[in-house]
Amino acid sequence: AIIAIINGYRAKGPLTTTLLAVVALDDAIAVVAFAIALGICQPLVNGGNISFYQMLGVPFLHIAEAIAIGIFFAFALIYIAKLVRTRELLLVIVFGMIMLCIGVTNLLGISAVLANMVAGFVVVNRAKKNEMFLAVEGIEDVIFAMFFVLAGLHFDLGVIKAAGILALLIVIGRFSGKYFGARAGALISHAPGEVKKYLGLALLPKAGVTIGLALLAKSAFPAFGAIMMNAILASVIINELVAPPLTKYAIFKAGEASS
For all residues of the chain together, what is the average pLDDT? Answer: 84
Q: What is the pLDDT of residues 224-257, one digit of tens each?
A: 878 888 888 888 888 888 888 999 999 998 888 8
Long-range contacts of 73-76 (CB under 8 A, 24+ apart): 73/97, 73/100, 73/101, 73/115, 73/119, 74/118, 74/119, 74/120, 74/121, 74/122, 74/123, 74/126, 75/122, 75/126
Express each pLDDT in 56-95 by its tens digit.
788 888 889 999 999 999 999 989 888 888 888 888 888 8
Q: What is the pLDDT of residues 178-237, one digit of tens each?
A: 999 999 998 998 888 888 899 988 888 877 778 888 888 888 888 787 888 888 888 888
